[in-house]
């Protein structure tokens, strides 16, 4: 490792590897460091179709097409009573190649993006942990890191990109993290072999199933090799407080979801259950002199619509452009490095609104769509990830009164 680089990227997840690849591609000296040994396990397996455009820019579309990853064409919602919504087939809305996406094992997927960053010219090291970001006053000037052999080193750079995920190194150091109280959720998930899979295109769908108490929901994500990722999400207190071991909670909630029980009846669980909690937060500043946040280090909303990896890729891409431009013009202020964040936040806002609608008691997307069928396209667009255009939030003008009414019935806030 050298003593200095133009750019150091912390974290070899989708956000960090994307930023590092696109910056190195421009001939900028770039160091990408990942704490864990790659490939490493990670949650977040279902992609949104709009990831397509970043894959195209990264030059990995063919790798995705030739991979073993299950093809995802649709999403379907199943109510607590077992009533199934019409599947949202992305290609019915837009019959182009970009409407199909994938369900990915994150270890292999992240490894592929990490290797791609190296192919594009970034110097990539795993098992290398950044212990601190170095500042000169307000300006980030480099990082202190510990290599696999335990050796500590300080490395200077002109820009630090923080893609450290939920660890959000810079946001923690500068006290920028802001939890989203309405989304204090927890998740317990595991992997089944041999769960039900339809033979047609819908077999690759993500299913979102409410339990019959409506207090929790499950994701059902079909992966390759006959494995299905099945996770339950609910409020932290409800899911984890005074309920015993995660395995007991998981089984109990499975019992509350007959539509899911039926699908896993012949399946066998493999490996351990995993638990995550309080993963939703924003940051109140996203860039400063010599630094910028991307991916989960920037913020994370909720797993319900599988938007995390898409937003990680997108923010990695937008930040990369801002960094390259800043380096060219020798202007590495927070304003320059974060010049994309307002538009990005507007797009994230629409996903956040959709998340809030999902969690609003007494509100039903089905009922709303029956009365406003012309919004079907807008809703499918949001599920695809098309949130970065002026009409993205059109449907909320009509949906807001329903959300307010539903929220008033239960006394909860419908703002997002």
Ligand X SMILES: Cc1cc2nc3c(=O)[nH]c(=O)nc-3n(C[C@H](O)[C@H](O)[C@H](O)COP(=O)(O)OP(=O)(O)OC[C@H]3O[C@@H](n4cnc5c(N)ncnc54)[C@H](O)[C@@H]3O)c2cc1C
User: Helix axis angle, 376-384 relative to 341-359, nearest 10°?
Assistant: 120
Q: How far is the CB of 69 from ligand X (least distance, A)?
A: 13
165 is an interface residue for ligand X by CB under 6 A: yes
3-class DSSP assignment, residue 263: helix
Candidates 36-44, 67-75, 281-289, 364-372; binding stretch for ligand X (CB under 6 A): 36-44
Give the E-state strand segments of 238-310 in sequence order: 268-277, 281-283, 287-288, 291-293
- Interactions with ligand X, residue window 179-198 (CB under 6 A): 187
Nearest to 253 by CA among 216, 206, 302, 303: 216
**What tokens appear for 19 in the block?**
């930023």
In the bound complex, what is the minimum distance in angstroms from residue 352's beta carbon to ligand X?
14
- Of residues 403, 408, 385, the one with CA closest to residue 311: 385
User: Minimum distance between the CB of residue 116 and ligand X, rounded to whole angstroms?
Assistant: 14
Asked if 102 interacts with ligand X (CB under 6 A), we say no
Contact map string, positions 260 to 289, toward ligand X, x by CB under 6 A:
----------------x--x----------
94 binds ligand X (CB under 6 A): no
By CB under 6 A, residue 349 contacts ligand X: no
What is the closest distance, in whole angstroms, from the C-beta atom of residue 64 to ligand X in the complex?
Answer: 14
**Closest approach of Cβ 131 to ligand X, in Å?**
7
Q: How far is the CB of 373 from ligand X (least distance, A)?
A: 28
Helices (H) and strands (E) in the chain, counts: 15, 19
Query: What's the token pair of residue 190?
Result: 């595991």
Question: In angstroms, rounded to a whole number, what is the distance separating the alpha carbons of residues 275 and 272?
Answer: 10
Find the shortest distance in angstroms from Cβ 411 to ligand X: 27
For residue 202, the minimal CB distance to ligand X (Å) is 18
Report residue 308 as tokens.
């995390």
Three-state DSSP class for residue 20: helix
| 34 touches ligand X (CB under 6 A) | yes
Looking at 66-74, 190-198, 309-317, 364-372, which segment touches ligand X (CB under 6 A)?
Answer: 309-317
Q: Which is nearer to ligand X, 180 or 407 (CB)?
A: 180
Tell me whether residue 105 or residue 406 sits nearer to ligand X (CB atom). Answer: 105
Figure out which of the listed residues 4, 26, 43, 67 binds ligand X, where binding follows CB under 6 A: 43
**What three-state secondary structure class fits 410?**
helix
- Strand ranges, E, within 49-111: 70-72, 74-78, 88-89, 101-103
Among 306, 336, 339, 360, binds ligand X (CB under 6 A): 306
Choice between 43 and 118, CB closer to ligand X: 43
Torsion sign over Cα 245, 249, 251, 252: positive
Interface residue with ligand X among 4, 36, 118, 273 (CB under 6 A) is 36
Provide the 10 A C-beta neighbour count for residue 132: 12
In the bound state with ligand X, the residue whose beta carbon lies nearer, of 319 and 407, is 319
Q: What is the dihedral of CA 293, 295, 296, 297, to 10 degrees?
A: -20
Residue 349 Cα to chain centre, angstroms: 14
Span near ligand X by CB under 6 A; candidates 10-18, 22-30, 209-217, 243-251: 10-18
- Does residue 129 touch ligand X according to CB under 6 A? yes
10 Å CB burial of residue 57 (0-12, 13-18, 19+) is middle
Q: Which residues bind ligand X (CB under 6 A)?
A: 10-16, 33-36, 40, 42-47, 129-130, 163-167, 169, 187, 276, 279, 295-297, 300, 303, 306, 308-310, 312
């Amino acid at each position: 490792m050298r003593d200095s680089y133009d750019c150091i990227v912390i974290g070899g997840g989708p956000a960090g590897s994307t930023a590092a690849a696109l910056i190195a591609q421009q001939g900028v000296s770039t160091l990408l460091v990942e704490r864990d040994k790659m490939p490493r396990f990670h949650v977040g397996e279902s992609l949104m179709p709009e990831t397509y455009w970043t894959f195209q820019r990264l030059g990995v579309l063919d790798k995705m097409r030739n991979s073993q990853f299950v093809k995802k064409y649709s999403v379907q919602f199943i109510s607590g009573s077992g009533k199934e919504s019409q599947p949202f087939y992305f290609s019915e809305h837009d019959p182009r190649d970009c409407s199909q996406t994938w369900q990915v094992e994150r270890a292999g997927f992240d490894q592929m993006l990490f290797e791609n960053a190296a192919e594009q010219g970034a110097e990539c090291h795993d098992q290398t942990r950044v212990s601190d970001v170095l500042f000169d006053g307000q300006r980030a000037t480099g990082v202190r890191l510990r290599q696999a052999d335990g050796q500590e080193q300080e490395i200077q750079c002109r820009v630090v990109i923080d893609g450290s995920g939920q660890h959000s190194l810079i946001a923690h150091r500068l006290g920028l993290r802001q939890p989203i109280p309405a989304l204090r959720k927890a998740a317990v998930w595991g992997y089944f072999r041999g769960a039900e899979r339809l033979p047609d295109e819908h077999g690759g769908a993500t299913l979102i199933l409410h339990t019959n108490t409506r207090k929790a929901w499950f994701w059902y994500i079909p992966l390759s090799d006959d494995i299905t990722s099945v996770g339950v999400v609910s409020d932290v207190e409800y899911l984890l407080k005074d309920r015993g071991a995660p395995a007991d909670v998981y089984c109990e909630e499975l019992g509350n979801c007959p539509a899911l029980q039926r699908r896993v009846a012949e399946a066998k669980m493999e490996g351990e259950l995993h638990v995550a909690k309080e993963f939703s937060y924003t940051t109140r500043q996203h860039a400063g002199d010599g630094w910028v946040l991307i991916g989960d280090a920037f913020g994370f909303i909720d797993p319900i619509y599988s938007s995390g990896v898409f937003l990680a890729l997108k923010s990695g891409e937008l930040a990369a452009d801002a960094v390259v431009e800043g380096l060219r013009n020798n202007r590495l202020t927070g304003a320059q490095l974060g010049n994309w964040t307002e538009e990005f936040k507007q797009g994230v806002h629409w996903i956040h609104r959709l998340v809030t609608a999902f969690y609003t008691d007494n509100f039903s997307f089905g009922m709303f769509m029956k009365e406003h069928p012309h919004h079907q396209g807008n809703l499918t667009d949001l599920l695809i990830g098309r949130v970065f255009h002026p009409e993205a939030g059109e449907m909320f003008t009509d949906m807001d009164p329903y959300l307010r009414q539903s929220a008033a019935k239960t006394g909860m806030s419908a703002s997002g």
